Amino acid sequence: MTKVNFKNYKLNSEILKAIDILNFKSPTNVQEQVIPVALENKDILVKSQTGSGKTAAFAIPICELVDWDENKPQALILAPTRELAIQVKEDVFNIGRFKRIKVSALYGKSSFAAQEKELKQKTHVAVGTPGRVIDHIKQGTLITENIKYLVIDEADEMLNMGFIEQIETIIRGLPKERVTMLLSATMPKDIEILCNKYMKDPSKIEIQSKTLTVDKIQQDGYKVEETGKLNLLKDITIIENPDSCVIFCNTQEKVDTVCSELNKSKYPCDKIHGGMEQDDRIKVMSNFKKGYFRYLIATDVAARGIDIDNITHVINYDVPKG
Ligand code: AMP
């Protein structure tokens, strides 16, 4: 069987060039199923996990379909966390770079005025967290009248974080004539209800988690003197630029030291170890899961059994004890 190629989708040469530069040789399973349907402007419900290439699955058709000459936003992508909104913005930017697609990221704890200024310029795609998107809609700084594409990414996470009502508020302010794509790793009842209420006969696409592109774990080891470890750690983080990274140390003292050193170098980081109050540990874990910071420094005892889907990197700062 011949492998599907991105060229099969009759995409604009500017989009194909960007895909080529990203080194995407052929569509992933989810892309193969989503792209042709999305290009026909149909609603889609995707059950798929992070790591399947789902962002490009909706970003490619959106970049292809938006009209460059239109100044007001044509696509709105909702994401549960700031980190994810930034990530999606970058992905859309990378795919749309030769078409000169303008993407704005709208999220809280960041200057409203700066986002407002950006929105006054040509904006094809807005990516944001629900709270800040609502603020911009209320203030009239995000104009919704031309939005033709709505993407609700990681819908089950949105549900877990209590965002469903806000999403409904946003949807009610959008044009009815639009394409809606919803992506979720699981399909709890409340998400199904949301889909039935706001989507038009969506194509249902389910991707088994076996097809994850991040299924493969690459492992590397480095021989280094104790005194050189911290610098090596920093070098590795610069090269790898992880979205979400756990750094394991063998002792509480080491966790404290590494955390304070990374803090000094302005890394978005926090720590957990057994010497901390349980409430503090829970809070740190919850913030890490929400993507509020990227580096969690932990003793393996404190972090045992943590279940976080989106960790991209694990670094054993010390040789783990058996
Ligand atoms: P996502 O599921 O959107 O988080 O994507 C997971 C990773 O797969 C990201 O690093 C993407 O850059 C990468 N990716 C997406 N599509 C492809 C593709 N067709 N070929 C290779 N890598 C891809």
Contact predicate 149/120, CB 8 Å: no
Give 33-46 pLDDT, tens digit per residue: 999 999 999 999 99
Average pLDDT over residues 101-111: 93
Residue 319 scores a pLDDT above 70: yes
In sign, the C-alpha dihedral spanning 23, 103, 133, 43 is negative
Distance 56 CA to ligand 1 centre (A): 7
How far is it, in rounded angstroms, from Cα 163 to Cα 84?
15
How much is the pLDDT for 196? Answer: 95
Give the position, in ligand 1's atom list, of the atom nearest the Cα of 51.
Answer: 2
Does residue 310 line the site of ligand 1, with CB under 6 A? no
**Does 244 sit in the ligand 1 pocket, CB within 6 Å?**
no
pLDDT in tens, 119-157: 999 999 999 999 999 999 999 999 999 999 999 999 998
Among the atoms of ligand 1, which is closest to the Cα of residue 213? 8
List the structure tokens of 269: 């980081």
> Is 97 exposed, middle or buried (CB count within 10 Å of its CB: 0-12, 13-18, 19+)?
middle
Distance between CA atoms of residues 165 and 169, nearest Å: 6
- For 151-178, what is the mean pLDDT? 95
- pTM of the full structure: 0.71
Residue 276 has pLDDT above 90, yes or no: no
Residue 52 pLDDT? 87
**Binding site membership of 87 for ligand 1 (Cβ less than 6 Å):** no
Q: Given ligand 1 and candidates 35, 54, 55, 313, which is best to mutate, with the most ligand atoms within 8 Å of its CB?
A: 55
**With bands split at pLDDT 50, 70 and 90, how would you rate the model's confidence at 215?**
low
Q: Residue whose CA is closest, atom 18 of ligand 1?
A: 24
Interatomic CA distance for residues 159 and 137, integer angstroms: 21
The pLDDT mean for the chain works out to 91
Dist. CA 301 → ligand 1 center (Å): 32
pLDDT value, residue 211: 45
Average pLDDT for residues 218-226, to the nearest whole number?
Answer: 88
Per residue in 70-92, pLDDT tens? 999 999 999 998 878 988 999 99
**Residue 22 Cα, ligand 1 centroid: separation in angstroms?**
9
For the residues of 71-109, what is the DSSP string, one character each?
-S--EEEE-SSHHHHHHHHHHHHHHHTTTT--EEEE-SS
Q: Cβ(257)–Cβ(229) under 8 Å?
A: no
Q: How far is the CA of 203 from the centre of ligand 1 (A)?
A: 22
How far is ligand 1, taken at its centre, from the CA of residue 54, in Å? 7
Residue showing tokens 């590494």: 258
Q: What is the pLDDT of residue 172?
A: 96
